[in-house]
Amino acid sequence: QVQLVESGGGLVQAGGSLSLSCAASGRTFSSYAMGWFRQVPGKEREFVAAIVWSGGNSYYADSVKGRFTISRDKAKNTVYLQMNSLKPEDSGVHYCAATAPDLAYCSDSGCRDGETYDYWGQGTRVTVSS
């Protein structure tokens, strides 16, 4: 099965930048897509960004579009989330997710849906101060 480990979270001032990484278990990784979700206490988990592993097609939540960039390094089995112009509302635990190895495709809406993803990391906390 796929194992995911996030890193890169921390404290940053509003307007600053932060880059998150998600490393998948190298030899077993074969997910169609990987995504980032975030959650804060009292609120539902929300979609942030996703990327199709093979072709690199990317998807973004409206709230982060233009500020965040998702990318992947196939050789390192790693997905990144570059976060720029951070706002306090970007704070929260950020989770990396991967689809099951047997998922052949997910649509635009499907790739944005947490139910599409079967594997999840432990999360990395991002705190944006004002």
How confident is the model over 37-65, as pLDDT tens digits? 999 989 999 999 999 999 999 999 999 99
* Separation of alpha carbons 10 and 127, rounded Å: 6
DSSP 74: G
Give the closest residue to 114 by CA, choosing from 54, 5, 33.
Answer: 33
Mean pLDDT of 77-81: 95
Cβ neighbours of residue 49 closer than 8 Å, sequence gap 6 or more:
35, 36, 58, 59, 60, 61, 64, 68, 70, 81
Average pLDDT, the chain: 94
Amino acid 1: pLDDT: 75
